Structures are given as C-alpha cells and as structure tokens.
Amino acid sequence: MLNIALPKGRLGDKVYRLLAGAGYDCREVFDDSRKLVFESEDAGVRYFLVKPSDVTVYVEHGAADIGIAGKDILLESGADVYELLDLGLGKCRMCVAAKNGYVEDPDRTLKVATKFANIAKRYYASLGREIEIIKLNGSIELAPLLRLSDVIVDIVESGKTLKENDLCVVREIFPISARFIANKASYKFNAAAIDEMISRLSAAIREEGEA
Ligand code: PRP
C-alpha cells in the first residue's frame, strides 16, 4: 500500500482526478465527509488529505511515502525529498509585486511582506540587497497598501488579486507547478510501485495534453 499525501483544495482536486484517471481511484475521496484518510486496497493506495504547505512535512518524515506539492512549498521548506515528476498542474509564478508607480530607494532597507520568508531571503541575498522580512500568513497584498511593506513576494496566478488592489508585478522570481515527491527511504523500498505510478501519471498527462 502506497501512502500518498494529497493537498486539500483546488490543486488537490485536480491532482486526485489525474491519479484516479491513471488507475489510482479511491471512490470515497470526493465524499462530503470530514474523513482525512481514504484507501483502496484494489488500487494499492491510501490517501491522506493534508494542508498544501504540510505535504513536504509528511513526506520528509516518512509518514507518507509520496506526495504532491507546489514548487513554492518545496523551495520554501527545503525538504530533503526526491522530486520525481512535474505534473504541469497548478501553474503560477513567484513574484515581487508593489503598488503601481512604486519606485525603490536603493539606499534604504527594503521591507518585504511574504508568506515565503526563506524564498524571499534567498532571492534578495542573491542580489546583495538588504531587506527586512515581514512574515504574514495571508492577504499579503494588503501590506503595501497599508505601508506595512514596500513590496511583497507572493504567488501570482491570474493576476486578478494584484490588479484589484492597485498592485503590479515588479519581477518574476520563478515559475511554479505541482511536483510529485517521494520520501528517500520509501523510494528505495517501493521503487517498482512508485516508478509504475510515475509512468502511468506521465501517460495520463500526455493524453490530457493531446486531448
Ligand atoms: C494566493 C496568493 C494571491 C492569490 C493570487 O492567495 O497569495 O493572493 O492567490 O491569485 P491570482 O493572481 O489569481 O489573483 P490565496 O488564495 O492562497 O489566499 P491567501 O491570501 O490566504 O494567501
């Protein structure tokens, strides 16, 4: 039985559809229940529904053998796991954004509001730019509007949130998509089953691309 950490929410729904289409169906997952564990003996899988930002924690510690996490979560957590496949789902971008018309003063420490403190620190360290991190947990776009920060480092998908709050992208840091990850020890012991899942998922992704 492969234990799979599946992110709850929109991305998880898409990922689950892909897995089900590849033969790893578990009918109960879309039930309206509050259950967090679902298994299908026939398909040889047990799904755990976890918060997207916790997927790497379950996989790194071996509580789940494999999982699906955004590249943003992988880079922020620095988790020591194998990244085995880009699912091409949940595409968005990690960006620096600011109020329309914002002009940076290079002589001042830059105030950066973000959920992604490690990513922001690494990015600005690579530029040699001194910053102060203001760690928030959501609604990051408010920070520059209230002068809590100069800029934000955040995910941009459609760009709607920025637009509706009079903000714009200043720089793109990296593109994001969902990745198939595995615990290092689990991969050693379950290589055949995990490789089989990867090849079936790759085929399902190709078919969707051609459809
Ligand atoms: C994310 C992100 C942006 C928004 C971007 O927030 O932090 O706020 O989505 O999407 P868009 O470009 O399509 O508008 P999320 O919905 O995860 O909520 P949060 O404010 O709790 O972080």
Q: 3-class SS at 34?
A: coil
Q: Does the pLDDT at position 211 exceed 80?
A: no
Is the C-beta atom of 139 inside 6 A of ligand 1? yes
Report the pLDDT value the prediction gives residue 83, as an integer from 0 to 100. 98
Q: Could you read off the pLDDT of 67-124 as tens digits, one per residue?
A: 999 999 999 999 999 999 999 999 999 999 999 999 999 999 999 999 999 999 999 9
Residue 160, amino acid: K
Q: Does the pLDDT at position 191 exceed 90?
A: yes
Confidence label for 162 from pLDDT (cuts 50, 70 and 90) = very high
Q: Does the pLDDT at position 61 exceed 80?
A: yes
Distance, CA 37 to ligand 1 centroid (Å)? 27
Q: What's the pTM value of the predicted model, to 2 decimals?
A: 0.94
Looking at the chain, how many residues does it have? 211
Is the C-beta atom of 157 inside 6 A of ligand 1? yes
Q: Could you read off the pLDDT of 26-40 as tens digits, one per residue?
A: 876 666 678 899 988
Task: Give 66's strand partners.
Answer: 4, 182
- How much of the chain exceeds pLDDT 90, in percent? 86
- Return the number of other C-beta atoms located less than 10 Å from residue 200's C-beta: 16
Is the C-beta atom of 156 inside 6 A of ligand 1? yes
What CA–CA distance (Å, rounded) separates 173 from 76? 13
